[in-house]
Chain A
C-alpha cells in the first residue's frame, strides 16, 4: 500500500484506515525533514497549487502555504475579500479561471458545506478541503490524531472527549470520523443546545457534565466557541458557559489522572480554557501546530503523486 485510495481530500468520511496510516507514515518522514537545518525538499518542483480562501484563516492558510513551499511547489494565494467574487463571479468560474493558469491542485476553504465536493466534480484539479462550513476540516482531524499518536504511540483504544460547540464545528465531525477509523472511543460534551440531535448515530456518546467527561478521557479536545456562527443564543452568557464547560487548572488538578489538552485554535483564552491550562505541560497545542505542517506536506505529496 503506497498510494491513497482517493484523488481528492474532501473529508475524512471518504478515507479508509490505511489511507490515514499512510498519511501518518509519510508525515513522520516530513517531520524529520522540517527539523533539519534546511527544511526544504524538491519533490513538487513541477506542481502549482492555488490556495483559495473564501473564509478567514491564519493557522490553516499559513500551514498549507509553508507545507507547499517546503515541498518546492509553486503557490498562488487568493482571498475572496479582495477578488472578483465580490463582483458576482461563480465558484466554478473563479476556480476555472485560476486553473487555466495551469494549476494542478486547489486548497479551498469555503463557508458552504460541500463546496469542495461540488468543485471536485466540476473542475480538473486535485482538491484539498481546508474547511467547508460546518461540514469537515480533514487536515485538522489528521493532525489532531497524529498528535495523539505521537503522544501515546497509538490512537486505538484511547478515550477522547470533544468539548464545546459540536453543532457548528467542522473540526468535531472530522475528528469523530478520524478517531473512530483509528479505533479510539469518542465522547462529545457541551451544552445540549450545541450538540446536534441524533449524534449518537455516529457511534459517539454524549455527556453534559464536563467533570465526568474529563475523568473518563485520556485526551480532551477543546473547541472554540465560534461567536461568528452563533446566530441565536445557544447559552445565556459566555461567563455561564465558562463556568460549566471551561477547563481551568483547578479542575485539571482535581481529576483522577493527568489528561492531555488539545485545542485546534484560535483559543479564546479564559473562555473554553484558561491561560494556565493552555500553557501547561499537559497541553500539546503547539505540537499540533508543528504537526500540522508535516501532515499537510504528507497529504499534498500523496495527492500530487496521483496527478497524471
Chain B
C-alpha cells in the first residue's frame, strides 16, 4: 500500500478560501442560500467554509445544516455491511432557497443522487448546487458534476482519496492511497 500526499494543509487552506470566494461571488449575502454538509464527511468541509465566510468575509448569517443520506442510498442490502446512519440537523426549511450541497470527495455521484432525494423531505429548493473539495474524474456512474470544485484528480478505481481534517483526524491533509 502506498500513500501519497495529494494536498498539504497549506494548499487546502488556499483552496478553501478560493471556494469561499466563489460561493460569495454567486450568493452575495447568503439570505436565500443554505449550505448543507453531507454526512458524515462533508460536515467538516461545510463547517470550515461557513467559518471562513463568517470570520473573514463578514457574512452575518449563514444557514448551515447537515444531511444524513443513509436511508436514501441505493445500495441498501447490496453490500456486506449494514448502512449506519449519522445525524441530520436541518433547523430550517429549504423551500424556495438555493441549496449548496457540500461533500469532500465526488466519486460515483451516487451519494449526491441520494442527497438530492433526501433534501426534498425538507421542501422544494429553488436551485441546488454542488461543491466538492476533490472531484475524481472518469469515475462517475451518474450524470452529476460539481458547480464548485477544489481540485480535480485522476485516480483509478483501486485508489482511494482520504481527506483528513484537523478537528477530527489531527491535521489537514489529503492522501491518495494505492491499495
> A and B from one assembly?
yes
Residues on A lying within 8 angstroms of B by beta carbon are 2-3, 26, 29, 32-33, 36-44, 46, 71, 301-302, 304-308
Given A29-B68, A29-B88, A36-B122, A42:B117 Cβ within 8 A: yes
Query: What are the 9 A-B residue pairs with the smallest beta carbon separation, nearest first?
Result: A41-B71, A305-B82, A38-B121, A29-B85, A3-B82, A43-B71, A2-B84, A2-B82, A36-B121
A-B contact pairs, 20 of them (CB 8 A): A26-B85, A29-B68, A29-B88, A32-B88, A33-B71, A33-B88, A36-B121, A36-B122, A37-B121, A37-B122, A38-B121, A39-B121, A41-B71, A42-B71, A42-B117, A43-B71, A43-B73, A46-B77, A304-B77, A305-B82
In the complex, which residues 52-89 of chain B have their Cβ closer than 8 Å to any Cβ of chain A? 68, 70-73, 76-77, 81-88
Q: With an 8 A cutoff between CB atoms, is B31 at the interface?
A: no
- Provided the pairs A29-B87, A29-B88 are in contact, do residues A307 and B122 lie with their beta carbons within 8 angstroms? no
B107-145, CB under 8 A of A: which get 1 and which 0? 000000000011011110000000000000000000000
Q: Classify chain B: how many residues form its interface, as a range.
A: 20 to 34
User: Which residues of the partner chain A approach B68 to less than 8 Å between Cβ atoms?
Assistant: 29
A302 to B70, CA, bound (A): 13
Complex contact A3–B81 (CB within 8 A): yes
The majority secondary structure among interface residues of chain B is loop
Binding site for A on B (CB under 8 A): 68, 70-73, 76-77, 81-88, 93, 117-118, 120-123
Most A Cβ at <10 Å: residue of B68, B77, B121: B77
B77 touches A305 (CB 8 A): yes
**Cα–Cα, bound, A305→B84 (Å):** 11
